[in-house]
Amino acid sequence: MRTGQGTLALLRTSWQYPEKAVQARAIFAETGNRMDQLSLFNTSAQDEHSRAAARAAKLRRDIEHHNRLYHQLDAPEITDEAFDALFRELVSLEERFPDLRTLDSPTRRVGGAVLPYLETRPHRERMYGLDNVFSAEEWEAFVQKASRALPEAPAAVMNAWWADPKLDGLACELSYENGVLVQALTRGDGEVGEVVTEAMRTVRNLPLRLAGEGPFPRRIEIRGEVLMFRREFEELNNRQTKLGQKRFANPRNAAAGSLRQLDTNVTAGRGLRFLAYSLGEVEAPGMADWRTHSALMSSLKAWGFDIPPEGRICRGLDEARGYYEHLGQIRDDLPFEIDGVVYKLDDREAQAALGFTARAPRFAVAWKFTSRKAETRLRKISIQVGRTGVLTPVAELDPVSLGGVMVSRATLHNEDEIRRLDLRENDMVIIQRAGDVIPDVLGPVLEKRPEGLPSYEFPHVCPVCGSPARRLEGEAAWRCLNMACPAVIMRSIVHFVSKAGLDVDGVGAKWVEALIESGRVKSPADLFTVTKQELMSYERMGEVSAGNFVDALRQAKEHATLTRFIAALGIRQVGEQTARTLAGHFHDMDELERAGVEELMQLPDIGPEVAGSIRAFFETESNRILLERFRAMGLWPEGGGQERGDGTLSGRKVLFTGTLSRPRDEFRRMAEAAGANVVSGVSKTLDYLVAGDKPGSKLDKARELGITVLDEEAFLALLTGKNDAGEAAGKQGGQE
C-alpha cells in the first residue's frame, strides 16, 4: 500500500478504504455549486473560463492516465501527493465552473449519486447467454455443427477460435458516445437491463472516456463482466461480519449486490472491476469494422479496457483442450473466479453469418469446468437448531482451500444423508463446491478410515435446550418441539426482520442476536422498543449504526405490507408465496384469524396441512399475545381484501415508471401483496401504469395503447380500496 495521506490519495485507494472515500467526498460536498463570481458578459471572465476549460481537459486526461497506470498497470509514474495535487486542482476548477464537470470527469469516480430506484431500459441488441459444453466430445460436436452451417467458409476460418476465461461475475453493457461513457446497463433478462450508469462510473478500471486520439465510433456498446476480485470479496465479508451484517455467499453475488446499489457511494467502496469481452450495437459511419475478434480485443485494450487475461487463438481440438487444461491449472492463481473457458469464432463475418439460436450464439460456446473437489478431515458433526426447531447437521472440517476460498464447514442435510454416506466423525471426506461458498460433502474416503471409528448416532435431544427431539412421521428432520427453546426463539426473531420476513434493511442478525443474548429482546415485538441509547451501550455499536437500526425498524413498522408481516411471523408451512395469497384475500390478521380451515382451503395452493398450521398458530396463546402487542404498537398492515370486491389487484398487471416518493421495490411489494403481477414493459395486456415524476417513454407508449395511467396517490387509493377502484382508475386515466 502506498503512503500518501492527502485527500485524493484516499480516493485512489478508496476501494480498500471506503470510509476514507466518504471523508473525501464530504470535502467535495462542502464546496457546492457556486457560479457567483462569474459574469457572462465580462470578457476577462470569459477568458478565464476558456483557460479553465482547457486546463480541466488536460487535468482530466492526465488524471485518467495516472489512474490507469496505478490501478490497471500497477506502474505509477507519480507520487500520491502529486496525484492529489492534480485531482484537487480539477475539483477546485469544477467548483468554480460547474459546467466543467463533464460526464467523463474522474471526480465522478468517487460516487455521490443516490438514486431513488433502479430504472430499467431495453438493450438495443439482445444480450444472449452462452450454450455450455462439458467435454471434449461436446466441444468438437459444437464446432462441427458450426462448420456444417457454413459449408462455404474456408477451413482455416472455421478452425480459429478465440479462447478466454469464462468470468463468473455479472454481464454489463457500457455505451460510449463519441468516446464518452453515457450509459451502463446490466444484462437483466437479456432484453431489458437495469440502468447502473452512476454505479459503473465508480469502477476504477474502466475508461470514462476511451483512451487514445480517436476518431471514436458515434456510438458503441462494449460488453463485459463486472467482477469482485477475491481480495476485495474477503475484505468485504470481513467488514460485513464486523458490522453484524450477512456475509455474501460468493464474489458473484457480492458484485451483483454492490453494483445494484441505489447509493453509489457504497458501490465506490466495493472495488468492483470490469473486464471487456464483446460488443453490442455499433454506430460508426465511415469507420472500418474489425475483421476478427482478436483485432477487436486489441482495440478494446488500446481504448483503456482491461480484458480477460490469457486470451488467445486456439486451432483445433488439441489446442482447445490444452487451453482448457491450462486454465484449469492456473484457475486458483487468478485473482478472480472463473467457471470455464469461452471459445468464440475469431472471424467476425463468419460470426454474423452463423447468428443466434433462440437463446445463444452459434459462434460461441462455454466449456465449463467440473466443480471443484477437495479432501479434508471431518472433525465433528455439530447440530444447528433452526427457527422451526429442525436439527440440521453441519460438518466441521479441517480448513481447506477450495478454489481459492478457505472452507471449514459443509452442510449435511439430515440424518438419512449421514447414514446414506456412512459418515463418521474423524473420517477423511471429499467435499465439493458448486457455486456457493458452502460446499457439499460427497462422502468418506474409506481407505483412509482409521480403525474402529464408531458410526455416527444422530442425537435424539435438542443440543441447545436438552428437551427430547422427535422425528415426525414422513419427515426427514428431527425437531426440537420445545416452543421455549432459546435457539428456536433466537432464530424466529432473526427471521422476523430478515429478508424472508419484514426485510428490515440495516438490522443485521449479529445485533439481533446480541440483543437476545443480553436478555433485552425476548420476542420480535421487543425489537421495536429498543432505543438508540440502549443500543449504543453495546460494544462496537456507534451512534450512526444505532440510529440506522432504530430508523430501519420504525420504517418497517410504518410500511410493512400484510404479505411481509405474515411471512415474518414464521407460521409453519407459510412461506412468502402463501403469505401473498393470504394477504391478497384477507383484509388483516383479524380476518385471517376468523377464517376456518374450510375457507382457507378454498384459496389457491392451500391444503389441509397448511390450513391446519395456520389455525394452530392462532390457537397458541403466546402468538395471540404477540399479535396484540403488534396491533398496539401500530404494526398492523392491511392487505388486498379480494373478497371485498373492490380495491383488488388480483391478476392485474401493473407497471411502475418514473420517480416515486418511496423506493420502487416498496411499491412492487404493495402491489404484489394485493395480488398484482408487476411487469417491466408496456404491452396491450397491461392494466395499470403507475407514473411518478419524469416518467419517460413508457408513459407515452401506455397512452398510445390506451392503458389506464395512475399517479401515486391514485394507486394507493386503489390499493387500500379507499376509493372505488374503477372510478379512481377511470378518473386518472381520463385526466392524463
Residues 543-602 contacting ligand IVH, CB under 6 A: none
- From the candidates 145, 166, 368, 532, give the one annotated as an active-site residue: 166
Nearer to ligand IVH, 84 or 164 (CB): 164
Rounded least distance, CB 689 to ligand IVH, Å: 30
Site string for ligand IVH, 112-131 (x = CB under 6 A): ----------------xxx-
Distance CA 96, CA 237 (A): 40
62, three cell numbers: 492526465
From residue 500, how far is each of 308, 505, 554, 569 by CA, in Å?
A: 37, 12, 18, 10
The residue from 91, 110, 160, 167 that contacts ligand IVH (CB under 6 A) is 167
Which residue from 441, 231, 206 is spatially nearest to 307, judged by alpha carbons?
206
Residue placing its CB nearer to ligand IVH in the complex, 165 or 501: 165
DSSP 350-405: HHHHH-B-SSSBSSEEEEEPPPEEEEEEEEEEEEEE-TT-EEEEEEEEEEEEETTE
Q: Kind and range of the H or E element at 280?
A: strand 272-283
- Residue whose CB is less far from ligand IVH, 187 or 479: 187
Cα 214 from chain centroid (whole Å): 35
> CB within 8 A of 649, min separation 6: which ones?
640, 671, 674, 675, 676, 688, 718, 719
Our CB check for ligand IVH shows the closer of 341 and 574 to be 341
Widest CA span in the chain: 95
How near is the Cβ of 169 to ligand IVH at its closest, in Å? 7
Q: Is the peptide bond before 444 cis (omega within 30 degrees of 0)?
A: no
64, 80, 164, 712: which one contacts ligand IVH (CB under 6 A)? 164
- Nearest-angstrom CA–CA distance, 470 and 160: 63
Rounded to the nearest whole angstrom, what is the least distance from the CB of residue 117 to ligand IVH in the complex? Answer: 24
Among 186, 578, 144, which residue's Cα sits nearest to residue 365? 144
Provide, rounded to whole angstroms, the least separation between the CB of residue 368 and ligand IVH: 9
Task: Kindly state the smallest distance separating residue 363's Cβ from ligand IVH, in Å.
Answer: 7
N residues, the chain: 736
CA distance 249 to 271: 17
Q: Please, which residue, 351 or 498, has the CB nearer to ligand IVH?
A: 351
Segment near ligand IVH (CB under 6 A); pick from 61-69, 162-170, 438-446, 569-577: 162-170
Among 225, 232, 346, 672, binds ligand IVH (CB under 6 A): 225
- Spatial contact of 398 and 428, defined as CB atoms under 8 Å apart: no
Beta carbon nearer to ligand IVH, 6 or 311: 311
Taking CB under 6 A as the criterion, the residue among 153, 222, 296, 364 binding ligand IVH is 364
Nearer to ligand IVH, 139 or 456 (CB): 139
- The footprint of ligand IVH on residues 301-330 (CB under 6 A) is 308
Closest CB to ligand IVH among 352 and 446? 352
CB of 104 to ligand IVH, least distance (A): 25
Could you tell me how many residues of this chain bind ligand IVH (CB under 6 A)? 18
> Of 694, 693, 689, 666, which Cα lies nearest the Cα of 679?
689
CB nearer ligand IVH, residue 130 or residue 158: 130
Paired with 444 in beta bridges are 429
Distance between alpha carbon 543 and the CA centroid of its chain, in Å?
28
Complete DSSP assignment for 15-72: TT-HHHHHHHHHHHHHH----TT--TT-HHHHHHHHHHHHHHHHHHHHHHHHHHHHHT
Nearer residue to ligand IVH within complex by CB, 126 or 239: 126
Choose, by CB under 6 A, the member of 97, 277, 456, 630 that binds ligand IVH. Answer: 277
How far is Cα of residue 262 from the mean position of the Cα atoms in its chain?
11
90: CB partners within 8 A, 6+ apart:
56, 59, 60, 63, 105, 106, 107
The residue among 290 and 538 lying less far from ligand IVH, judged by its C-beta, is 290
* CB 352 to ligand IVH: min, Å: 11
Distances (CA, A) of 213 to 243, 302, 621: 46, 10, 75
Written as nine digits, the cell of 217 is: 465510433
Contacting residue, 251, 361, 647, 675, with ligand IVH by CB under 6 A? 361
| Closer by beta carbon to ligand IVH, 281 or else 517 | 281
Which amino acid, residue 18? P
Q: Is 60 in the site for ligand IVH (CB under 6 A)?
A: no
Pairing type for strands 180-186 and 405-411 reads unpaired
Out of 278, 292, 414, 498, the only residue in the binding site for ligand IVH (CB under 6 A) is 278
3-state class of 336 per DSSP? Answer: coil
Among the listed ranges 47-55, 160-168, 446-454, 696-704, the one in contact with ligand IVH (CB under 6 A) is 160-168
Phi, psi of 178 (to 5 degrees): 45, 40
Q: Does 146 bind ligand IVH (CB under 6 A)?
A: no
Per-residue binding string, ligand IVH, 668-687, x by CB under 6 A, is --------------------
Which CB atom, from 167 or from 200, has the smaller least distance to ligand IVH? 167
Q: In this chain, which of 12, 60, 96, 166 binds ligand IVH, going by CB under 6 A?
A: 166
209, 181 Cβ separation under 8 angstroms = yes
Stretch near ligand IVH under the rule CB under 6 A, chosen from 78-86, 144-152, 161-169, 291-299: 161-169
Least gap, CB of 280 to ligand IVH (angstroms): 10
Q: How far is the CB of 163 from ligand IVH (least distance, A)?
A: 9
- Give the range of 34-42, 159-167, 233-241, 404-412 binding ligand IVH by CB under 6 A: 159-167
Distance from C-alpha of 436 to C-alpha of 291, rounded to nearest angstrom? 39
Known active-site residue 653 = no
CB atoms under 10 Å from CB of 589, counted, come to 21
714 phi, psi to nearest 5 deg: -65, -35
CB of 345 to ligand IVH, least distance (A): 10
Residues 182-201 that bind ligand IVH (CB under 6 A): 187
**Smallest distance, ligand IVH to C-beta of residue 278, A:** 4
Closest by Cα among 497, 465, 509 to 483: 465
Does residue 366 touch ligand IVH according to CB under 6 A?
yes
d(CA 258, CA 242): 18
State the cell numbers at 267. 458501490
**Does 342 sit near ligand IVH (CB under 6 A)?**
yes
Which residue in 208, 216, 217 sits closest to 281, CA to CA?
217
8 scored as a contact of ligand IVH (CB under 6 A): no
Please identify the residue of the shown chain whose CB is closest to the bound ligand IVH: 171
In a 3-state reduction of DSSP, which class is residue 207?
coil
Q: In angstroms, give the least distance from the CB of 290 to ligand IVH.
A: 14
Q: Which stretch binds ligand IVH (CB under 6 A): 166-174, 325-333, 522-530, 552-560?
A: 166-174
Q: Minimum distance between the CB of residue 227 and ligand IVH, rounded to whole angstroms? A: 10
Binding site for ligand IVH (CB under 6 A): 128-130, 164-167, 171, 187, 225, 277-278, 308, 342, 344, 361, 364, 366
Catalytic residues: 166
